[in-house]
């Protein structure tokens, strides 16, 4: 009798216990909205390993959310340039932006166009324009600055092309990701 009573109690506990494996998973978008995984609100068959992933980024950072990690100032370009094309550079996947700043003595101006492509030997003429930044003004130590809108394009390589340079600008290009 006692064994049967314990068996009934155990069965009752199993039936009433919440299922630890039934989880609703929402996808959070960069605009702050959320949608259920799969779009239905149904429980998804997903392993935890697929939810937490990252890449080895600069300084061994593992990014699992949309926080911003700023690159060192001038980590892409930090030199006196007139009209020129940078070497190809890479940025981590996910949301990112590029900030441009020019400094110099007196009036300086420059247009900086960011291109994306799939080859480290990419050429601007055959690549996709991702952003154009136009800077001008009377510069000094602080310089004038602007930035690209947030980019999520899955490009492998980037180049920066400076044009329309006037004065003697020093171009400082920094990645924010």
More confident residue, 108 or 132: 132
Percentage, residues of the chain above pLDDT 90:
18
- Burial of 100 from C-beta contacts in 10 A (0-12 / 13-18 / 19+): buried
pLDDT of residue 44: 41
Q: Mean of the pLDDT values across residues 153-175? A: 89
Could you read off the pLDDT of 111-157 as tens digits, one per residue? 999 999 988 889 998 999 999 999 987 766 667 889 999 988 888 89
Helix (H) or strand (E) run with residue 12 in it? helix 2-16
More confident residue, 57 or 78: 78
State the CB neighbour count (10 A cutoff) for residue 138: 11
Q: How far apart are CA 66 and CA 15, in angstroms?
A: 40
Average pLDDT along the chain: 74
State the CB neighbour count (10 A cutoff) for residue 58: 13
Domains of the chain: 2-51 (no CATH), 59-176 (2.60.120)
- SS3 assignment, position 37: helix
Beta bridge partners of 146: 100
Could you read off the pLDDT of 7-48 as tens digits, one per residue? 766 666 666 665 555 555 566 655 666 666 555 544 444 434
């Amino acid at each position: 009798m006692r064994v049967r009573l314990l068996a009934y109690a155990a069965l009752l506990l199993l039936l009433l216990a919440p299922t630890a494996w039934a989880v609703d998973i929402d996808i959070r978008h960069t605009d702050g909205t959320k949608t259920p995984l799969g779009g239905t609100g149904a429980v998804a068959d997903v392993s935890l390993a697929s939810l937490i992933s990252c890449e080895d980024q600069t300084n061994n950072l593992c990014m699992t959310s949309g926080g911003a990690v700023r690159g060192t100032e001038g980590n892409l370009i930090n030199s006196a340039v007139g009209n020129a094309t940078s070497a190809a550079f890479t940025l981590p996947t996910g949301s990112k932006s590029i900030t441009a700043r020019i400094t110099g003595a007196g009036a300086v101006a420059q247009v900086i166009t960011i291109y994306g492509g799939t080859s480290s030997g990419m050429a601007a003429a055959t690549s996709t324009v991702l952003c154009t930044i136009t800077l001008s003004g009377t510069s000094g130590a602080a310089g004038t600055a602007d930035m690209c809108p947030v980019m999520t394009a899955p490009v492998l390589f980037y180049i920066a092309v400076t044009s329309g340079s006037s004065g003697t600008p020093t171009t400082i290009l920094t990645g924010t990701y």
